[in-house]
Structure 1
Amino acid sequence: MTCNGIIVWSLVPCRSYGNTFRFDLENTIQKLPNNIFENSYPMREFDLQKRIYSFFYKVAEFSLLGLAAGTIQGAITKDFAAKKEGRLSVTIPSASSNALGYGAF
């Protein structure tokens, strides 16, 4: 439920009015649309190049979120499996493969 809430919150359209940051990369990211379907408005014009950059920025953002969630989930699963006495009926994947799977998803 938490992961779903974070992803939905990340996709919610928002309107920014342009803060100025110290680094150029932060200013460039600030000028990107929140998603590729966001409409241009009087203070911001979004061309195709900015929409493509926005797509790849969101891919990277959600992949990092998936890596973090997969790492946490893999560690919790390994911990619970270690506490269970006896043999497990299924194999438990490593935390790194779990994190990579979530990151790719």
Structure 2
Amino acid sequence: MSTQLPFTMSKHAVDRALEMNVDGTEIRACFDRPEDVLWSRKYACWWFVRGRITLSVSEDRACVITVLWSNEHDWRADYARGGDLTGRERRSRTDMAYLPRRRA
């Protein structure tokens, strides 16, 4: 049985996944079976969305660039948790109304 992945992950994506406590199974499911796929003109990459995470994926779909929370609830929970944000600035506004709401 081959364990080769159909994509690579940037160091940043691996760091974010570890920081967010997102495991490989969840990342693989998001990549293989996204609930939604969007093109970001601003960042020139794909966004694969599944459940609580979004993967930012290169244009050729070969590399996961970063891992993000998919909705406001999970972003807020992450900020409330604190965690080790060494070297990372908080780039979101206090008002996170621009983020999608968690699906029921």
TM-score range, shorter chain: under 0.3
Structure with the largest fraction of helix: 1
TM-score of the two chains, using structure 1 as the length reference: 0.24
Task: Mark the structure with the bigger radius of gyration.
Answer: 1
Normalising by the residue count of structure 2, what TM-score does the alignment of the two structures yield? 0.24
Q: Which has the higher strand share?
A: 2
